[in-house]
Amino acid sequence: MSTVHGQSRGFSRGGTCARLGRRLAALALALVAFSAAVAVAQVTFEAAVDRTQVTMNDQLTLTLSVSGAGVRGAEPQLPSLSGFSVAGRASSQQISFVNGRVSTNLQYSYTLVPTRAGKQAIPAATLNVNGQVYRTKPIAVTVAGGGTTQPRQPAQPSQPSQPAGPAAPMPPGHSEDTEGGYVFVKAAVDKTQVYVNEQVTLDIAAHRDSRFAWSRAQFSQPETTGFVGYDLPKPDPAAETLNGVEYVRVPCMRQALFPAAAGKLTIGASTLQFTTDFFNADARQVSSKPLTITVLPLPEAGKPAGFGGAVGQFHLEASADKTALQTGQTVTLKVTVTGTGNIATATEPSLGDLAKFKQFNSNQSEQTSTQGLKLGGTKEFEFVLMPVEPGRLALGPVTLAYFDPTTKTYCTAKAEPIAFEVTQGAADQSVDSVTGFTKDEIRLLKKDINYIRPDAKRLADDGRVLYRRPGFLLLNLLPLLGLGGASLYRRQQLRLANDAEYQRKRRGRETAAKSLGEAEQCLRRGRSAAEFYAALSKGLRELVGARLNLPPSAVSADTTPTELRARGADAALVARVEASLRQSELGRFTPSGGEPTAMEQALAAARQCVSELERAEV
């Protein structure tokens, strides 16, 4: 009886384990299904048209919008459009970071031309994301044989780009190359007089008489030599009435431009090529008027010491990863610069008196952003510091000098001083420059005396002992040579650790050679002009900064020639260095700068400058 009872208990435990396993499996399946449902819910796929009533002489825009996580690179598939033909296609992409998550918004715009009258339907489009298929809702469109049409309304959501489509014949007496004509391009800036590095907002839009259309439109950007440009968000096309005529205003370009030098700079003419008939290959062209910008130099009066060229409105914040530490320990100081203006011009802030700290290499990173039509961003600097004595030590205030173009005055952004409580370590924690260890970490592990107890029976003849051989002298010289090499190595390391100028020169040569090699690889592999000139500019700035004992961020085509002349550099060398720096800074923004021949010439000029600077006594 007891045996049967024991078997019953064992069976019960086995059944409980089985039921528990089934429940855990069901829970795991539910979690997988829930995760998949969340992933599916993160993707949105919608279709919209700018109007649902058109005529045979008109066109409409179909916009497919895709948003969510993991949709980058996904492209929708258009259905079979029996009542329309596709006359043009454009796309745009926007990536955003929210709470650490990456979200992508894609928009595909299609210009549709009716091929027959009547009630038509645009079937559902499809999108495949990681094996999951999404479909839009069908859209009904009424196509009339002629007459007026429903006013054009912006599609929701939409991000129109280059317009295209068939066009009615141009009316007699209509001009196409002046403002107020059938089609014209207008360029405008928010100001025509600015300071060096102050933002100029350039807005270029094409205007088309709303009664007509164009086809195969292509926009060419203007030359902006002397400016550094950043793209700004473009608005949607909209209706605009000029002199009693209703136009469709199509934004073509919107940029924040920052002049790099004082003087009169010109924004060249932008052009728009188009045809007046979708099946007509004869292209027409209209152009905007060039614009002249007067760039004022930054005033010398009131310029603070240490000003590095930052123009805008900036704010400083400083923080340390710890405020209580011992001698020999390091602390990381993080300084964040935020504000409006070209954040790239914000130089390394001043940390104040560092007599009681030892500073090691610093790192920096930057990120641009827009606030309306103003460019701004964030630039972060990280400094590694080590206190050299115990006590209550204060660091700061951390300061950054900049010029505010709105008030036309120099200002200084400040971060409050940071107090550190530094205690004496249990032992000397200073870092040895050769070994990289603290003195406390280098300790005696064992002390022995090893006696020599020769056995007379095993002694060899004196004539064959080592010290009587000719090679013995060479063996004695080896420790001396090793000691001399170690001494030279130690002196080299000490100089690298304590001589900032020597360290910058040595590492500047290495970094310059590496960057010029990267520029050559960009050229050989057919990469973009932006990557090529970025590598070229970095190499030149690293070497010039090393030779002049300046940080690379302080090297530019405007300031470097003055420094070279002050140090007695040859005039021809100064001219070549200035030309090469300016080409590396502005080459990516000129139409001819992206041609392989121009890029090869720029690389050859840069290598010549590097070679001559290495030999020059500056």
Domain membership of residue 305 (yes or no) is: no
Q: Region 284-303: what's the mean pLDDT?
A: 92
pLDDT at 412 over 90: yes
**Distance, CA of 45 to chain centre:** 29
Across the chain, how many H-helices and E-strands are there?
A: 7, 29
pLDDT band at 212 (very low <50, low <70, confident <90, very high): confident
Task: For residues 65 and 149, give the distance between their C-alpha atoms in angstroms, rounded to a whole number.
Answer: 25
Domain that holds residue 535: 500-615
Element (H, E) at 91: strand 84-98
Residue 235: is the preceding peptide bond cis (ω within 30°)?
no
pLDDT for residue 590 is more than 70: no
Same domain for 505 and 561, yes or no, is yes
> In this structure, are 504 and 489 located in the same domain?
no
| CA 215 remoteness from chain centre | 35
Reply yes or no on whether the pLDDT at 26 is more than 70. Answer: no
Whichever domain contains 228, its CATH number is 2.60.40.10
Question: Which of 102-111, 134-143, 296-305, 350-359 is predicted with the least confidence, judged by mean pLDDT?
Answer: 102-111
pTM: 0.44
User: By C-alpha distance, which of 211, 188, 206, 187 is closest to 284?
Assistant: 206
Domain count, the chain: 5
Residue 227 bridge partners (DSSP): 259
Is residue 563 a part of any domain in this protein? Answer: yes
Task: Identify whether residues 461 and 506 lie together within a single domain.
Answer: no
In contact, 576 and 605? CB cutoff 8 Å? yes
**pLDDT over 70 at 215, yes or no:** yes
Q: DSSP label at 464?
A: G
In this predicted model, what pLDDT tens digit does every residue of 527-542 receive, in sequence order?
A: 888 888 888 888 888 8
Spell out a b/e string for 577-594, using b for 16 or more CB atoms within 10 Å of the CB, else e. bbebbbbbbbbbbbeebb
Same domain, 353 and 284: no
pLDDT top residue among 563 and 101 = 563
pLDDT-derived band at 408 (thresholds 50, 70, 90) equals very high
Beta bridge partners of 312: 341
The model's confidence at residue 372, banded by pLDDT at 50, 70 and 90, is confident
Query: Of residues 187 and 613, which shows the higher confidence score?
Result: 187
User: Are 278 and 345 members of one domain?
Assistant: no
pLDDT mean over 346-352: 89
Residue 211: how many CA atoms within 13 Å on its side-chain side? 10
If one compares 172 and 251, the residue with the highest pLDDT of the two is 251
pLDDT digits (tens, 9 = 90+) for 421-480: 999 876 555 555 444 455 544 555 555 565 565 555 555 555 556 666 777 777 778 888
Q: Are residues 205 and 291 in the same domain?
A: yes
Q: Are residues 547 and 586 in the same domain?
A: yes
Q: What is the pLDDT of residues 594-604, one digit of tens each?
A: 788 888 888 88
309 in the Ramachandran plot: left (φ > 0), alpha (ψ -120 to 50) or beta?
left
Residue 138, pLDDT score = 92
